[in-house]
């Protein structure tokens, strides 16, 4: 099946993003990224947030728009449906049903997830919760990347108390998909997330993971968690110095002496 979102989506103009973006990972994840020079693109329907890409509702849903959205004029049933008022009423009844709208939402997420994957980053290397949640309770690593040297198109996530509405006739347009990709609930605001959108057909599928390569020059910084094992710190630091050279700055996260903060130096 050919994507409706295709090249136009991937060529959209993206606003500037921070020069350095960080990815928090556990120690094993850091080794895989740094040794293999690959990142993982995860389809939205595989994320830990069950609300990924879910709109609240589809607005401007009239019978004709619904029919034109779901059935192409070349379809043999099109002419019969477009003039049948009872079918039109049945369609509108369907679109006034929240459960039906939700099912359409879910199907849209699955369709998008079959074409695109996301890689998540943040602008911060000192976020206590990020260290706790994504770097295995401070025993992992935050890897700093030069965002200009990474693949994919980047979006900064916007956080809202309510899900957004999408006009029905624009539901499968690149602009709407981009809008949904960059929306999350306020609960996630602490992450200050930036997302790289990557075409899955440009990745290598390894088991259930979609992996894509990056230029080793993209690695700019390694921050070791404050609870990382000394032998793990030594092993990875030695490898980074040997493989990546002096262009990568090695830092360590430490507890602030008097405040609820992580110090990185």
pLDDT tens per residue across span 162-185:
988 887 666 767 788 888 889 999
Mean pLDDT across the chain, nearest whole number?
Answer: 85
Confidence of residue 1 (pLDDT cuts 50, 70, 90): very low
Q: What is the mean pLDDT of residues 208-232?
A: 97
pLDDT (0 to 100) of residue 235: 98
Which distant-in-sequence residues (6+ apart) come within 8 Å of 100 by Cβ? Answer: 94
Reported as a pLDDT band with limits 50, 70 and 90, residue 105 is confident
- In order, the DSSP letters of the chain are ---SSHHHHHTS------SEEEEEE-HHHHHHHHHHTEEEEB-GGGSS-TTTT--SEEES--HHHHHHHHS-TTSTTHHHHHT-HHHHHHHHHHHT-HHHHHHHHHHHHHHHHTTEEEEEEES-S--HHHHHHHTTTTTSEEEEEEGGGSSSEEEE-EEESSPPEEEGGGTTSHHHHHHHHTEEEGGGGGG-EEEEEEEGGGSEEETTEEEEE--GGGEEEEEE-TT--HHHHHHHHHHHHHHHGGGSEEEEEEE-SSSS-EEE-
**Confidence (pLDDT) at 49:** 93
Report the interhelical angle of 85-95 vs 98-113 (nearest 10°). 80
Pair 135, 232: CB distance under 8 Å: no
pLDDT in tens, 17-37: 899 999 999 999 999 999 999
Question: How confident is residue 8, by pLDDT bands cut at 50, 70 and 90?
Answer: very low
* Calculated CA dihedral for residues 120, 124, 130, 134, nearest 10 degrees: 40
Q: Residue 93: pLDDT band by 50, 70, 90 thresholds?
A: low
The predicted pLDDT at position 16 comes to 75
d(CA 211, CA 29): 13
For 124-162, the pLDDT digits (tens) are 999 999 999 999 999 999 999 999 999 999 999 999 999
Band of the pLDDT at 10, cuts 50, 70, 90?
very low
Percent of the chain with pLDDT over 90: 63
pLDDT of residue 88: 57
| Confidence tier at 11 by pLDDT (50, 70, 90) | very low
Whole-number Å distance between alpha carbons of 183 and 156: 9
Measured distance CA(134)–CA(145) in Å, rounded? 17
Q: What per-residue confidence (pLDDT) applies to 6?
A: 39
């Amino acid at each position: 099946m050919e994507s409706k979102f295709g090249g136009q989506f991937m060529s959209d103009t993206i606003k500037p993003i921070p020069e350095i973006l960080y990815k928090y990972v556990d120690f094993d994840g850091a080794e895989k990224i740094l040794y293999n020079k690959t990142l993982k693109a995860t389809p939205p329907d595989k994320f830990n947030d069950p609300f990924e890409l879910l709109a609240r509702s589809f607005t401007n849903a009239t019978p004709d728009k619904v029919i034109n959205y779901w059935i192409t004029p070349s379809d043999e049933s099109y002419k019969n449906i477009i003039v049948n008022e009872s079918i039109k009423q049945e369609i509108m009844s369907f679109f006034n049903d929240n459960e039906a709208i939700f099912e359409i939402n879910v199907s849209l997420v699955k369709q998008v997830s079959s074409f695109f994957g996301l890689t998540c980053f943040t602008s911060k290397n000192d976020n206590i919760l990020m260290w706790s949640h994504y770097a295995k309770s401070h025993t992992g690593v935050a890897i700093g990347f030069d965002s200009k040297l990474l693949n994919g198109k980047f979006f900064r996530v916007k956080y809202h108390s309510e899900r957004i509405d999408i006009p029905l006739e624009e539901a499968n347009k690149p602009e709407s998909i981009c809008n949904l990709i960059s929306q999350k609930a306020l609960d996630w605001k602490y992450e200050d997330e930036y997302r790289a959108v990557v075409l899955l057909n440009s990745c290598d599928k390894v088991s259930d993971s979609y992996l894509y390569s990056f230029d080793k020059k993209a690695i700019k910084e390694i921050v070791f968690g404050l609870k990382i094992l000394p032998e793990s710190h030594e092993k990875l630091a030695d490898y980074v110095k040997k493989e990546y050279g002096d262009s990568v700055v090695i830092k360590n996260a430490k507890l602030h002496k008097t405040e609820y903060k992580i110090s990185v130096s």
